[in-house]
Chain A
Amino acid sequence: MDPILEGLIKAFWLLVSFDPEVYGIMFLTLRVSGIAVILGAILGVPTGATVALREFAGKRFFISMVNTMMGLPPVVVGLFVYLLLSSSGPLGPLQLLYTPTAMIIAQLTIAAPIVVGVTLSAVGSVDKAIRDKALSLGATRFQLTLTILKESRLGLVTAVILAFGAAVSEVGAVMIVGGNIRWATRVLTTAIVFETELGEFSVAIALGIILLLLAFIINWLLTQMQWSGLRR
């Protein structure tokens, strides 16, 4: 049978039969990428907004750095986090290597610059006249920042969408720091690599389809949020 068709049927079967291993992998994928993106947003949105709204020496250098880091190769991030967490590394005593926490740290390193970068441009592109208006109407600096974040909400959701897409789809970093250990650190992308290497193409395709479905559902929810926010 055609491996793609076979993969489709397999994906459907794995989902409806509530295959415990596949569901375990799915939930770990969601947990790792979800936490990484949420932490990335918590750190990245205020950082991006602060940098966009303030003038300081080295601002352009910082922005160039962020823009470069938005395109960090996940393998390089994986290598870097591996060295950090390996038993001879500075964080070695925490014994985090080959745990989901290590994978979250790696994906956070990938997601955060994306959130910072997109927030920077979203906040920076809010009309300066809006700032004047908010100040003139009596906003404090903090209220002004909140107002501008609210005005750029469309861009902020875009930042989260892009960061989640980058995190959930990368394989290099989680492979290196997670190790693709069955029942422990195996996520959808590393499972696909593994099944492909075994020649289990239909399983690999099934997992690929599940990954796409998952990404679509999350993005659909975020897009709903984005456009209902726009109308408000």
Chain B
Amino acid sequence: MTLIQVENLTKVYGEKIALRNIDLKIDRGDYFAVVGPSGAGKTTFLRLLDLLDEPSSGRILFDGIDTACPEEERLALRRKIGMVFQQNVMLNASVYENLAYPLRIRGMRNKIDARVNETLQLVGLTGFERRRALTLSGGEMQRVSLAQALVFEPSVLLLDEPTANLDPRNVSIIERIVSEVNRNEGATVVMATHDIAQAENTASKVAILREGSLVEAGDVGQVFSKPSEFLATFAGLWNAYPGDAVLVEDGLAVVDLGDDIRIEAATRKKGKVTVFIRPEDILLSTSPIQSSARNILKGIVTEIFDLDQLVQLKVNVGKEFAVVITKKSFKHLKLNLESQVYLTFKASSIRVL
């Protein structure tokens, strides 16, 4: 059942078109991820959903009610929506007062004590009541922000990059709480993220934004199993190459990518195709390995990027392939620039369009 219906939504800031003709339906109980690189319009979209800003054109229906209504009615709708902002700000007061605030302004004084305690327990910050909110660490502050958005039991929870700049422990805590709230309390969740993996792991539905336009939307399984070109090159995370496919047997093709590179891919397509290989699906080794994988390419490490717990490498096998491995593997393999390495990947891990 549709809870939020977005029709032909456009938002213009001065000269810049932040969102362009977005049509989208969000069902009650959905865990909806809005994915796109920074500047794609994710924040603008969430601010419009939270009724903080007004659309330049188009409309948003909330539970069938047009949100282009008088401010009083907008306030009533806004009070059903909780939002966690990317930029963390707290009222200059105790954690308890910060959580009491949304209840107090709703005139729900008699519920304050019970709800604040419950919510602090939910986010794992019991005992933090008297702490001054401004002295908390980034992760704790983000959890208080989440608690503030949950304390009044909203029917919709909007999250704008809720885990950007957080350490892995706090990321998993926040992801777990949001999933619980979505599952146990039936809250509809809309989360903006630039992280495809996070969207894939947490959400049930996804919309992909690029430069203010909706690229595609649907079930996570659907969208991620048939990756669009945009998704493939998104954030430079995928290897995408054009090539010529020749079927060698039913369901298996050899794709010639040029530069003397031929790879086997599980597909029925032939002729001009584009192949996609996720950097995470490539096995990296310093000597050839015996396995069932059909593709082994020899190359030289040309670039090394540190991605927190992961390391992304560029390996030249005639073309440059991006490969992602853990920091531990990186140290274990004693890799350097110019190291000779082998890339191994299965024919079935290649996506062909």
Contact = CB atoms under 8 A, between A and B. Distances in A.
B92 A136 contact: no
Contacts of A136: 50, 52, 78, 81-83, 85, 149
Interface residues of A, number: 20
Nearest to B152: A138
Q: Which of A139, A147, A150 gathers most chain B CB within 10 Å?
A: A139
Contacts of A147: 91, 101
B85 A133 contact: yes
B74 to A, nearest CB: 10
A138 B79 contact: yes
Interface in B93-131: 93-94, 101-102, 105-106
Contact of B75 (A129, A140, A230): A140
B105 A143 contact: yes
Contacts of A138: 75, 78-79, 102, 105-106, 152
A164 B346 CA distance: 79
Interface in A103-151: 127, 129-130, 132-141, 143, 147, 150-151
Nearest to B148: A137
Interface string B124-161: 00000000100000000000000011001000000000
Contacts of B83: 136
B337 interface: no
Contacts, number: 52
B65 interface: no
Nearest to A231: B132
Given A132-B85, A133-B89, A230-B92, A140 B52 contact: no
A133 B132 CA distance: 17
Contact of B93 (A127, A135, A232): A232
Nearest to A143: B105
B148 A129 contact: no
B105 A140 contact: yes
A132 B106 CA distance: 17
B87 interface: yes
Given A143-B105, A231-B132, A135 B78 contact: yes
Contacts of A231: 132
A83 to B, nearest CB: 45
Nearest to A142: B105
Contacts of B91: 130, 133, 147, 150-151
B255 to A, nearest CB: 50
Q: Which of B81, B87, B89, B102 has the most CB of A within 10 A?
A: B89
Interface in A142-198: 143, 147, 150-151
Contacts of B71: 141
Interface string A44-83: 0000000000000000000000000000000000000000
Most buried by B among A127, A135, A137, A141: A137
B86 to A, nearest CB: 10
A130 B92 CA distance: 10
A55 to B, nearest CB: 15
Contacts of A230: 92
Contacts of B149: 136-137
B52 A137 contact: no
A127 B93 CA distance: 15
Nearest to B75: A140
A94 B131 CA distance: 56
Contacts of B50: 136
A132 B75 contact: no
B105 A137 contact: yes
Nearest to B84: A136
A132 B47 CA distance: 9
A168 B92 CA distance: 32
Nearest to A232: B93
Contacts of A143: 105
B75 A151 contact: no
A135 B257 CA distance: 54
Nearest to A141: B71
A130 B105 CA distance: 15
Nearest to A133: B89
| Nearest 8 pairs of A and B residues by beta carbon | A138-B79, A137-B102, A129-B89, A136-B83, A143-B105, A129-B87, A139-B105, A130-B89
Interface of A: 127, 129-130, 132-141, 143, 147, 150-151, 230-232
Interface of B: 47, 50, 52, 71, 75, 78-79, 81-83, 85, 87, 89, 91-94, 101-102, 105-106, 132, 148-149, 152
17 contacts: A127-B89, A129-B85, A129-B87, A132-B47, A132-B52, A133-B91, A134-B101, A136-B52, A136-B81, A136-B149, A137-B82, A137-B101, A140-B75, A140-B105, A143-B105, A231-B132, A232-B93
Given A132-B52, A140-B75, 13 more contacts: A129-B85, A133-B91, A135-B78, A136-B81, A136-B85, A136-B149, A137-B82, A137-B148, A137-B149, A138-B78, A141-B71, A231-B132, A232-B94
